[in-house]
């Protein structure tokens, strides 16, 4: 059983590592020269608009999935004509690729979002700013990730030149949320419609990049968990979704406000490799292959620290009990996710005691687990 | 960092799956056409006596290890002239490949074995049988695994023709041990001499093949754990060993009697993938690469069931919480290890409640975990 994966980054690598023990082998479609999957699967290297290459990629496959949300929808739709099963559905990808479509869709499913407005000219920007108030965040509608394509407008003066600086790309303006916490829910839906949700994760971003995830979220109560699960279910069902989906939230005034969704396995779910009965990667594969979903129960408490830009000395991690190193085989570059470390413990306090000293060892801890 | 591995079976596959997240890549040397590692590493396919091929295999490698204990010692010694680090040391391999050398060595380290005698003729067999008494087990000195090359002699009449039936290969005769239980210890020694031991495992074999391992061994007390660790330390230190080593024991009259040792990761340690803070595969790699050893603490209770000969319907496993499927990608054949399933639970009784029903689902449970 060969599973086709569009994209060949670290998410592809971790999908393969989860699927190989289940008897699967992998074929990746990745345009870039450097990938994280060379040596752990076949690879087709071509552009997403190369129909011949997509055809070669599809040959003999029963299932295609993706690990990269900026795959052109047309490529996914074309593959759906060649391969019996392409999951998640192309519609989910289309929704997630455009912030305006995404937020409109989320609100239609009853998922609250920060107030926002479509902006396609400087005049519209000024009008939206007047209506929503400042501070606000101007975000391009498409191709944003890890904080790219976003600018915070704090005062009237920041409006000057902001539209030109953004290159005039279709955007949204969103009320700035002075959130108490950031959270995310990982949810998975099987081909049979069965749904399972992981415990809510508490996240910490800096410069738009996820730095730390702690799960189960130490400051998130059962009420927020139920609220997040309700939102996830509504989204999964509306999309006829199959696979893992992540929704990132702000917690403001004790309520969840959706920030964005990702129709794929997600960085804030990496802790599930060691910290849950079934990892997000295995559950995504189980879902897209039509196998029963696995338990999403937490196994102890976990903190996941991203390794960004340059690798720190990992000795302190190797010497720590129940700490797990994951390197993606990428070359160093500022802002690039090169790997992550998951630290697990039997309780939240024991976890905090383990993670805190890593700050002194050059790791960006960012958030006290408790 | 490419790690060279002699052998390309399931142990090689699981080594690679443990090492890839640590940033390692793998090159396997495997003579057989079918292997478990195609697609997850490079492969050199040649005989172990092909020096040119061993040279190509060694090119650029810093470390070579093995996952198959019948690798010719000469091949390992030759590689040690080409590569800076070859672990475990060839001496350990030489000891483990010959049951007579092995038992003589174990006894010299203070590790009790069942009474045995070298046998190289029918006359010596009869003499040994008279001295040790019957029942006894005749075992070829070399190339035995999974019960191959062994015959139980229960009564005087069984001696007739037994020597010829064995092909006259140099053998040992060993007193038959009416054991209460079977146990094994997995131990690991780093390049710096640091040693860590996993909790004692309770095993059940049938027809010479391991069927089930439960860890921590539910009927094995702290006294036996200490005894096993003492034996493992003595063996590791005497051999200047680096890597994971397994010793299988019989428990007779509440004492441990060594059955055999394996200078490699071991089937009775597969539960450590989910059931220990650091798996035997990761700890073996950490050891041979000179990294600090990881914690060997158990994470809950685990039962590992081998899938032998033919694959059962895995649906019952996929529907069970915290059950983990591992398939090796091998074709079905009687007596062949095709995969394993590890079931984990938070306590021994919960584990038993999960594993027992698998008997009805066509799995060979063999041993009640508690």
The answer to whether the Cβ–Cβ distance between B299 and A299 falls below 8 Å is: yes
Q: What's residue A366's pLDDT?
A: 55
Rounded to the nearest 5°, which phi and psi values hold at B122?
-65, -40
Our CA dihedral for B141, B142, B148, B153, rounded to 10 degrees, sits at: -10
Crossing angle (nearest 10°) for helices B222-239 and B99-108: 110
The radius of gyration of chain B's CA atoms, rounded to the nearest angstrom, is 20
Please give the model's pTM, rounded to 2 decimal places. Answer: 0.95
Task: Show residues of chain B in contact with A321, CB under 8 Å.
Answer: 277, 294-295, 297
Looking at chain B, which runs of residues are DSSP E strands? Answer: 2-6, 25-29, 42-44, 63-66, 85-86, 116-119, 136-140, 150-153, 171-175, 181-189, 195-197, 201-206, 209-215, 243-252, 255-262, 301-308, 323-327, 337-345
Tokens representing residue A325 in the block: 């190193």
Task: With residue A183 as reference, give the H or E element that holds it.
Answer: strand A181-189
Q: How many other C-beta atoms lie within 10 A of the C-beta of residue A252? A: 15
DSSP bridge pairs for B196 = B188
Q: Which of A15, A11, A14 is nearest to A3 (CA)?
A: A15
**What whole-number distance in Å separates Cα of residue B268 and Cα of residue B69?**
15
Q: How many other C-beta atoms lie within 10 A of the C-beta of residue A110? A: 11
Angle at A148 between CA A53 and CA A243, to 5 degrees: 55
Residue B305 exposed, middle or buried by CB count within 10 Å (0-12, 13-18, 19+):
buried
Best mutation target among B272, B294, B319 (most A Cβ atoms within 10 Å) is B294
The answer to whether the Cβ–Cβ distance between B21 and A25 falls below 8 Å is: no
Q: Is the Cβ of A319 closer than 8 Å to some Cβ of chain B?
A: yes
The answer to whether the Cβ–Cβ distance between B327 and A21 falls below 8 Å is: yes
What ipTM does the predicted assembly reach?
0.94
Is the separation of the CB atoms in A20 and B40 below 8 Å? yes
**What whole-number distance in Å separates Cα of residue A196 and Cα of residue A261?**
17
Which of B41, B326, B344 is facing A21, going by the closest CB pair?
A: B326
Rounded to the nearest 5°, which phi and psi values hold at A214?
-125, 135
Q: What's residue B366's pLDDT?
A: 54
Task: Show residues of chain B in contact with A324, CB under 8 Å.
Answer: 21
The answer to whether the Cβ–Cβ distance between B325 and A22 falls below 8 Å is: yes
Is the separation of the CB atoms in A172 and A137 below 8 Å? no
**CA nearest to B37 within chain A:** A40
**What whole-number distance in Å separates Cα of residue A219 and Cα of residue A214?**
10
Lowest mean pLDDT among A68-82, A292-306, B326-340, B344-358: B344-358
Task: Show residues of chain A in contact with B13, CB under 8 Å.
Answer: 20
Lowest mean pLDDT among A77-91, A272-286, B306-320, B356-370: B356-370
The answer to whether the Cβ–Cβ distance between A17 and B22 falls below 8 Å is: no
**What whole-number distance in Å separates Cα of residue A47 and Cα of residue A33?**
11
Q: What's residue A39's pLDDT?
A: 86
- The rounded average pLDDT for each run of 10 residues, N- to C-terminus, in chain A (370 residues) is 97 98 97 92 96 98 95 96 97 96 98 97 95 95 79 91 87 95 98 98 92 94 97 98 98 96 98 98 98 97 95 93 96 95 93 86 56
Is the separation of the CB atoms in A232 and A187 below 8 Å? yes
Q: Is the Cβ of B13 closer than 8 Å to some Cβ of chain A?
A: yes
DSSP bridge pairs for B67 = none
The answer to whether the Cβ–Cβ distance between A321 and B40 falls below 8 Å is: no
């Amino acid at each position: 059983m060969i599973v086709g994966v569009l994209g060949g980054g670290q998410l592809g690598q971790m999908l393969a590592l989860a699927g190989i023990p289940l008897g699967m082998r992998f074929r990746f479609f990745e345009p870039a020269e450097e990938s994280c999957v060379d040596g752990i699967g076949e690879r087709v290297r071509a552009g997403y608009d190369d129909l011949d290459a997509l055809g070669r990629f599809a040959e003999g496959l029963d299932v295609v999935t993706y690990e990269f949300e900026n795959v052109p929808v047309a490529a996914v739709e074309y593959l759906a004509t060649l391969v019996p099963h392409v999951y998640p559905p192309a519609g989910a990808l289309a929704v997630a690729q455009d912030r305006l479509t995404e937020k409109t869709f989320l609100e239609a499913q009853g998922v609250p979002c920060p107030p926002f407005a479509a902006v396609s000219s400087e005049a519209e920007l000024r009008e939206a700013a007047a209506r929503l108030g400042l501070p606000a965040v101007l975000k391009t509608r498409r191709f944003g990730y890890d904080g790219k394509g976003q600018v915070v407008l704090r005062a009237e003066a920041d409006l000057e030149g902001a539209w030109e600086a953004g290159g005039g790309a279709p955007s949204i303006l969103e009320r700035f949320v002075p959130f108490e916490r950031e959270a995310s829910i990982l949810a998975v839906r099987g081909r049979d419609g069965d749904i399972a949700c992981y415990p809510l994760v508490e996240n910490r971003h800096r410069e738009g990049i996820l730095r730390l995830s702690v799960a189960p979220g130490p400051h998130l109560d059962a009420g927020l968990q139920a609220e997040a699960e309700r939102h996830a279910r509504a989204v999964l069902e509306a999309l006829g979704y199959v696979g893992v989906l992540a929704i990132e939230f702000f917690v403001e005034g004790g309520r969840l406000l959706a920030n964005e969704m990702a129709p794929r396995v997600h960085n804030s779910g990496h802790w599930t490799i060691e910290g849950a009965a079934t990892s997000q990667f295995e559950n995504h594969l189980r879902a897209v292959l039509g196998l029963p979903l696995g338990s999403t129960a937490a196994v102890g408490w976990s903190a996941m620290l991203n390794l960004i830009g340059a690798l720190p000395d990992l000795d302190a991690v190797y010497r720590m009990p129940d700490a797990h190193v994951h390197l993606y085989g990428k070359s160093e570059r500022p802002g690039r996710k090169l790997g992550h470390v998951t630290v697990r413990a039997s309780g939240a306090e024991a976890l905090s005691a383990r993670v805190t000293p890593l700050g002194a060892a050059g790791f960006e801890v960012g958030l006290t687990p408790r």
